[in-house]
Amino acid sequence: MAVIDWALGALVITAASFVQGLAGFGIGLVGLAFLPYLMSPATAIVLLTLYAAPFTLGVFIQLRDDFRLSGIRDMLVGTVLGTPIGVWGLAALPASLINRLIGVFI
């Protein structure tokens, strides 16, 4: 990766982090809209996951009084079923198709 790609990637993550700080969500949406132009989609997804985890934890800590354990069941089912499918897709599908799928879902 060239130095300009690193700088642009840092700029994208900074902008995505700014949106996350303002709205409480959005680091993945903003980051995945632009990072696949600079790196492979698989790398972009892993990178954004690593950045999103501490931001999400920070939001959770601020809002923990509003957290209800009963509401997590549906999200947990979706995560357990969707994660293996997503990992398989990243490993098996070509990068060009993953880029198109990201565009469709965003």
- Per-residue pLDDT reduced to its tens digit, 44-101: 999 999 988 898 888 889 888 988 888 888 889 998 999 999 899 989 999 889 888 8
Domains contained in the chain, number:
1
For residue 99, the model assigns a pLDDT of 86
In 3D, which of 18, 64, 54 has the Cα closest to residue 29? 18
Structure tokens of 75? 């999200």
Nearest alpha-carbon partner for 17 in 9, 7, 31, 27: 27
Q: What is the structure's pLDDT at 82?
A: 92
| Domain span holding position 82 | 3-105
Predicted pLDDT at 80: 94
